[in-house]
A and B are shown apart, each in its own frame.
Chain A
């Protein structure tokens, strides 16, 4: 027998829930829209909550429904995401999307060789972490739709991430999304590509084909929606096979901006424990660095999982830096500062870089193509590396922005 009333639900409930909500929609035959709201912030935003729900009913042309909301101080982007997830669980074929206005601060772009020392993971189903993520000044934030989201929340997380990409300000951090393993990940793209995502992370990447599949799907979406911004790709190597194919993956597309490694899965794949010393992954990490450098892109390290061990983290980053990695994943905001400090250039590196930059400037002024320090010729890649060191030094407060002016005066 066919059920008379269709119903859908989404979100979280319980004493410990914060900045989230639980929403149920029960479609009815008659009686109009009936809303029942229990909200922690009812006396402050009750009206606004009701208006949002009515507006969404209107948008999706829901005429008769009982809607129940249990609200633990969810921000509007979260309520809207929960509503849409609940509704789409009843009407999965409705193609309409209730898109919040794009935050005026969210139109910034990125570059292929953007600084990527730190990327802060945000589980896609935990909206409470979103609004303040950018305040901790990671180089990038990364919404995770993959491993940190339980299977039953995967679909709902897409709406949250989409709404957050539009409504939440990340204060200039590069905007990344880790999609699910293919093919599910290809569907994820529809929820993020149109909303100024900068980099897509492709998990468990094992072939150039994986990269090309993602690129192709992105191109389809871009063509459909008239999007012209470049979206870069960062494959994550998480298996023995992936390591073998690292160079093929790194060169699969011009859009690949970095290679990174997932050590939890990699160590599982080769059948060993992950240790702090990391001897077991030394080969894989080196292989990835080498492939990335051969392809002219960045090599980014895995995450450091013990959020309480700040000294261990620092050592781990220093080691990563020494091996050739340029960035590290962060699973807690407190890790960001340590990561930046550890990736910061040493005084010796800064002094060398300053000399190179000054020689470069001098050569430019002289109009000669040849840069020399003493009798030594300097190549373009060396200049580029020096520029990156200076940039890092300034970002870490080790060098003043106008250093060159002072330097020249002292000459």
Chain B
């Protein structure tokens, strides 16, 4: 495999799974021309005029879609770790004897460990989408036939829209749908919130199947997915395990160290002048990037400051802000708990967004760059503020990119990370895998201090008089190396064997992930 050095000084393949690739050229440097991909023209002649597109089962629907070897099949992660539908989908595909499928999920979860057998027997050729937990381990050990492609949520939309990924069949899990194919995620026993991740697939795929466990008579309102884009509707008994689709209530971490980081985040946003009337921020779903919200809320209240909008990952903590009048809107990318689902259903100011409006880099702007502060996690950060979010320091691929890369374009990108996990230093000399260039990362907040990117002189000046523990990133790294017993060894990676690539938001290749040698 031929590897070339890209603008970030990382070696990347020029061809992946037979498709030519463009190496990363720098932020904002690559600007494609040409026209977007377009789905085939359809005619009402071919669809029942009574609007009933229900077929008897998924196998039937796949056959009617003309499923064959080598096709690209897409699914979505609205059902998260409760997604038994995708596992069932591949059981059916396997039973049809189909091979070499390119699976194109918007994300994968540990429950998809079930699919390893199909990666092994050739039903699935490779995955383009996140490869989490067990799937990531499988890929890292070089066992997948093709090369994995990791994209951000925005990058996924971009790839579909730009024609990099042509979806043959999209299978959309719908907690509620009507026979015409209109669908939403806010009602039904498998309610998951918004279905925004499936938007591009419904627009661009050749064939679209909606699968639901709550079929209602037309019209299904709200119609987050339009039936006019749908070919077939399948009714099943269950889409998955509701308790793993959304959590009943999202609990904030009890870890005192994470809470300390969360407290620093809120204090930083206040001291830096980010938290002001009409501001906006993006929160995450777990750990520290969720835990800072209650601290920020207290500060907002005591200063009488209100946000114009907040972005999530919505949870009951964002819902509380909305219901207490501390934000005008929630612009919701995905919904993590029952309170989030309820709010989206009931509150017109709790808006479902799709990666098109939030993140797509090849559009006429997106929300991500308008957000005042995004609070994100990372697996590693290096002394030049470059960050990794997909592999661990031992080289194993364990996480997807999610909206992480897209959020880096916010006005102030804050990475909230512990300075080390057990004995694993998080601040390293050079990230194992580059997912986010340092020039977009402004602040690193750890329990041992806060490092501000030297490029952000404005932020450095703004917090100068605060009592926050501002330190240089190298200073924090030095202390952590002392605690952990020196600089860590490099993991053994086979640099001749690329197992996956990381795309940048513009479709260029930012870095390669290599096979881990034992």
Contact = CB atoms under 8 A, between A and B. Distances in A.
Contact of B489 (A18, A44, A332): A44
A18 B492 CA distance: 24
A292 to B, nearest CB: 30
Nearest to A333: B256
B422 A73 contact: yes
B212 interface: no
Contact of A45 (B260, B448, B488, B492): B488
Contact of A44 (B256, B260, B448, B488): B488
A44 B423 contact: yes
Contacts of B453: none
Given A132-B257, A135-B448, A136-B260, A44 B424 contact: yes
Contacts of B486: 45, 48
A41 B422 contact: yes
A334 B256 contact: yes
A19 interface: yes
B483 A43 contact: no
Nearest to A44: B488
Majority SS of interface residues in chain B? loop
B348 interface: no
Contacts of B257: 132, 135, 333
A324 interface: no
Interface in A328-376: 332-334
A74 interface: yes
A381 interface: no
B183 interface: no
Contact of B423 (A73, A136, A168): A73
A334 B255 CA distance: 9
Interface string A30-43: 00000000001101
Interface residues of B, number: 23
Interface in A65-102: 72-76
Given A44-B489, A45-B488, A135-B448, A332 B256 contact: yes
B484 interface: yes
Contact of A19 (B422, B488, B491): B422
Contacts of B394: 41, 43-44
A183 interface: no
Interface string B478-494: 01000111101101100
Tell me which of B393, B485, B491 has the highest count of chain A C-beta atoms within 10 A of its own C-beta. Answer: B485
Contacts of B479: 169
B2 interface: no
Contacts of B422: 18-19, 40-41, 72-74
B423 A75 contact: yes
B467 A45 contact: no
Interface string A117-150: 0000000000000011001100000000000000
Given A47-B489, A75-B485, A41 B260 contact: no
B423 A132 contact: no
A397 B485 CA distance: 36
A35 B486 CA distance: 21
Interface string A98-118: 000000000000000000000
Contacts of B393: 43-44
A211 to B, nearest CB: 33
Contact of B421 (A45, A47, A73, A397): A73
B136 interface: no
Tell me which of B421, B423, B448 has the highest count of chain A C-beta atoms within 10 A of its own C-beta. Answer: B423
A43 B489 contact: yes
B287 interface: no
Nearest to B448: A135
A75 B489 contact: no
Nearest to A308: B254
B160 interface: no
A46 interface: yes
B259 A45 contact: no
Interface in A189-204: none
A168 B484 CA distance: 11
Interface string A271-289: 0000000000000000000
A132 B255 CA distance: 11
Interface in B429-482: 447-448, 467, 479
B259 A41 contact: no
Given A18-B422, A44-B489, A75 B483 contact: yes
Contacts of A135: 257, 260, 447-448
A44 B420 CA distance: 13
A136 B448 CA distance: 10
A239 to B, nearest CB: 32
A136 B491 CA distance: 33
Contact of B447 (A132, A169, A332): A132
Contacts of A41: 394, 422-424, 488
A332 B492 CA distance: 40
B82 interface: no
Closest 9 A/B residue pairs (Cβ): A73-B422, A44-B488, A333-B256, A76-B485, A73-B423, A43-B491, A43-B394, A41-B423, A132-B257
10 contacts: A43-B489, A44-B394, A72-B422, A75-B423, A131-B483, A135-B260, A135-B447, A136-B260, A333-B256, A333-B257
